[in-house]
Amino acid sequence: MTSGRKLEFDSEVALDLAMHVFWQKGYVGASLSDLTETMGINKPSMYRTFGNKESLFVKTTQRYLDTKMKPHLELLFEPGVPLKQRLHRHMMSIVDMQCSQQNPMGCYLVLCQSELVSGNIPDAAKQILLDADLLPKQLYTDLFNTDPEAIALGLNKHAAANALSLYTLLKGTASMARSAVSQADLEYSVDSIIKGIGVH
């Protein structure tokens, strides 16, 4: 019987490889052949292990959030570090990833979220992208509303608007990274937006 047969590949490695395909081509642009060839498995193995393309995408997106985004978010809450430095480290950590030659350039989420307007993203994939889009804005808003230094600077008075400013900048750097703008050049933009919202 084949039902008890062990997997002949590492599912986490396969997910990482699939993530890179979606990161490079988006949900719509990534074909099943692109995915299976890059993952090094055949289509029956993919369906058996991950489900259909939509299910695979949901799994790779969650893996991206857990392995790629979580470390950046943790930098916002380093104890004993001034707010300006935390914001700079957090944002430049993201920009560094966007510009890294080890990944497809830009941001997996930003690329795939830009496809939502096409109407070609199925429901489960659409929902995880929408949920992921809300997360940074809410996180920054909560930070500005609760961090003592942020409150002292008055950032809580326009917390949601300040949060949107940071998030808009990071979506922009993702696009610029895909256009081969360097990390060093983008750092000026990061410093400018941090200063612009009132963190001195």
pTM above 0.75, yes or no: yes
Whether 40 and 17 have beta carbons less than 8 Å apart is answered as yes
Does 47 reside within a domain? yes
pLDDT over 50 (residue 1): no
Does 1 reside within a domain? no
pLDDT over 90 (residue 9): no
Does 3 reside within a domain? no
Domains in the chain, number? 1
pLDDT over 60 (residue 160): yes
Does 6 reside within a domain? no
Give the contacts of 97 (CB within 8 A, at least 6 positions apart): 68, 72, 103, 107
Alpha helices in 30-102 (DSSP H): 32-39, 43-50, 53-64, 70-74, 83-99
pLDDT band at 141 (very low <50, low <70, confident <90, very high): very high
pLDDT over 90 (residue 99): yes
Does 116 reside within a domain? yes
pLDDT at position 200 is: 87
pLDDT over 90 (residue 170): yes
pLDDT band at 54 (very low <50, low <70, confident <90, very high): very high
pLDDT at position 5 is: 47
* Domain at 189, CATH number: 1.10.357.10
Does 131 reside within a domain? yes
Does 2 reside within a domain? no
Does 75 reside within a domain? yes
pLDDT over 90 (residue 8): no
Domain boundaries, position 75: 11-196
